[in-house]
Amino acid sequence: MVTDSRISNLIEALHRSPTMCAIVTTGGGANAVAMLLGVPGSSKTVLDAAIPYGQQALVDYLGEMPESFCSSETAERLADRAFDRAWFLAPSVRVVGIACTAALATDRPKKGAHRFYIATRSLDERHHYGLVLEKGKRSRHEEETVLDMVFLNALAEAFGIAERVEVPLLAGEHLEYRSEDVLRSLAELMSGKRCVLAIDTDGRICLDQPKPGLLLAGSFHPLHHGHLRLAKEAAQRTGQSAAFELSITNVDKPPLTMEEARERWQQFVWKAPVWLTRAPTFLDKARLFPRATFVVGADTAVRIVDPRYYEGDARRMQEALAEIRHLGCRFLVAGRRDERGQFRSLDDIPLPETFRDLFEPLPLRVDISSTELRKKHGIS
């Protein structure tokens, strides 16, 4: 039972939130879970709680041996697994994974520092907390209390609610905090402060991600199994891992709104990595991704070599293709139906002889159309 009104008020606010969570704790944090479950309404908040306390249990939960059992990195990976679990259990609501790994006071002296790390993960945010405790200044129960308060505040931050509880820190103790906000980075892309944003398969921003060598570019409105099949076949053909590229700007359409961009990239979570760019043309894309192979359908390949898409200037088209070649890029072209319903492959496209070497056929037919899917489901 929770007797502190400030704690119960925060937990009640969590229970009123439409967000739900899955929890995993090791080395500490079990009392925070008990407090959440001890306030009526917890079934509206907690989807699942796991306590892989023993080392082998933790290895089994992660699926591999961590470099350290108590670290920020391990907490982050545990939060990812908790988020996976929450998403699986409640795919139709906003969910959060929260994890804690701790090395606290015990019945024997510890050589290392007393510390804990907490991480939260939602679809578009990550938050990390870490604290090294003054060793020997508190009992195990008192150290757990500090952890519990940070845990509840972290959950409140992830849920987007205002309530917080005081964390009883000692002089000299400093709570480390950092966050990765996909939306903030997306806003920077929308405003032009950045030209590219890499998002990994798990929805995490990757600031130092190496540029991909194989890209399937498109508007993905919506993403469908034909796109994924095309990426898979291209990867098998080239021996490279495939990623997707989504430009928020378009040659003949208005730029995507913030919400449209968010909806588009969220389609890729747990399916494939996606690169968001401000590169509407393949020349722009080649400048961003030199030496990349772009996977396209025959209908797109037609536009790449059509002077009409270069303001009717054949010389501009040739200059663009020449620069694409200089940047080491090329195209894999899959056959598909055109707007009149006729199947077209690379052999049907009148390629300029000088640049024929930039195009290679991909023996795959993809007839499914995003436009047709939108019409079928009444999507504008």
Give the helix/strand (H/E) hosting 113.
Answer: none
pLDDT score at 359: 98
Q: Which of 156, 174, 192 is the last residue of a domain?
A: 174
Per-residue pLDDT at 336 exceeds 90:
no
Claim to verify: residue 20 and residue 159 sit in the same structural domain: yes
Q: Which two tokens stand for residue 7?
A: 């704690």
Q: Are strands 330-337 and 293-297 parallel, antiparallel or unpaired?
A: parallel
Claim to verify: residue 144 and residue 274 sit in the same structural domain: no
Question: Is 212 among the domain residues?
Answer: yes
| Domain coverage including residue 323 | 184-377
Q: Are 77 and 62 in contact (CB under 8 A)?
A: yes
Claim to verify: residue 252 and residue 273 sit in the same structural domain: yes
Claim to verify: residue 141 and residue 251 sit in the same structural domain: no
State pLDDT tens for residues 35-50: 999 999 999 999 999 9
Length of the chain: 380
Per-residue pLDDT at 202 exceeds 90:
no
The beta-carbon contacts of 323-328 under 8 Å, at least 24 apart in sequence, are: 323/283, 323/286, 323/287, 324/282, 324/283, 324/286, 324/358, 325/355, 325/357, 325/358, 327/286, 327/287, 327/290, 327/291, 328/290, 328/291, 328/292
Claim to verify: residue 115 and residue 210 sit in the same structural domain: no
Claim to verify: residue 166 and residue 220 sit in the same structural domain: no
Half-sphere exposure of 298 (CA within 13 A, CB side): 23
pLDDT score at 200: 85
Q: Is 98 exposed, middle or buried (0-12, 13-18, 19+ CB in 10 A)?
A: buried
Question: Is 38 among the domain residues?
Answer: yes
Confidence of residue 363 (pLDDT cuts 50, 70, 90): confident
pLDDT score at 374: 44
Q: What mean pLDDT is predicted for residues 189-202?
A: 89
Q: Which of 155, 174, 193 is the last residue of a domain?
A: 174
Average pLDDT of the chain is: 90
Q: Please report the DSSP string for 308-346 in residue order.
A: GGGTT-HHHHHHHHHHHHHTT-EEEEEEEE-TTS-EE-G
CA 49, 55, 59, 64 dihedral sign is positive
CA 115, 141, 154, 36 dihedral sign is positive
State pLDDT tens for residues 59-115: 998 888 988 889 999 999 999 999 999 999 998 899 999 999 999 988 777 778 999
Confidence of residue 337 (pLDDT cuts 50, 70, 90): confident
Claim to verify: residue 97 and residue 220 sit in the same structural domain: no
Residue 102's CATH number: 3.90.950.20
Under DSSP, the state recorded for 231 is H
Claim to verify: residue 249 and residue 329 sit in the same structural domain: yes
Question: Is 370 among the domain residues?
Answer: yes
Q: What mean pLDDT is predicted for residues 342-359?
A: 93
Question: Is 35 among the domain residues?
Answer: yes
Per-residue pLDDT at 227 exceeds 50:
yes
What count of other Cβ atoms lies within 10 Å of the Cβ of residue 287?
A: 15
Question: Is 95 among the domain residues?
Answer: yes
Per-residue pLDDT at 213 exceeds 70:
yes
Question: Is 234 among the domain residues?
Answer: yes
Claim to verify: residue 81 and residue 48 sit in the same structural domain: yes
Q: Which of 73-77, 241-245, 371-375 has the lowest mean pLDDT?
A: 371-375
Q: What mean pLDDT is predicted for residues 26-43?
A: 94
pLDDT score at 9: 95
Claim to verify: residue 320 and residue 345 sit in the same structural domain: yes
Residue 320's CATH number: 3.40.50
The total number of structural domains in the chain stands at 2
Claim to verify: residue 132 and residue 223 sit in the same structural domain: no
Per-residue pLDDT at 377 exceeds 50:
no
Q: What mean pLDDT is predicted for residues 374-378?
A: 51
Q: Which of 174, 193, 219 is the last residue of a domain?
A: 174
State pLDDT tens for residues 244-272: 999 999 887 899 998 899 888 878 877 89
Give the helix/strand (H/E) hosting 39.
Answer: none
Give the distance from CA 53 to its chain's centroid. Answer: 28
pLDDT score at 371: 56
Claim to verify: residue 124 and residue 266 sit in the same structural domain: no
Question: Is 179 among the domain residues?
Answer: no
Q: Which two tokens stand for residue 135?
A: 């060793």
pLDDT score at 251: 82
Per-residue pLDDT at 372 exceeds 70:
no
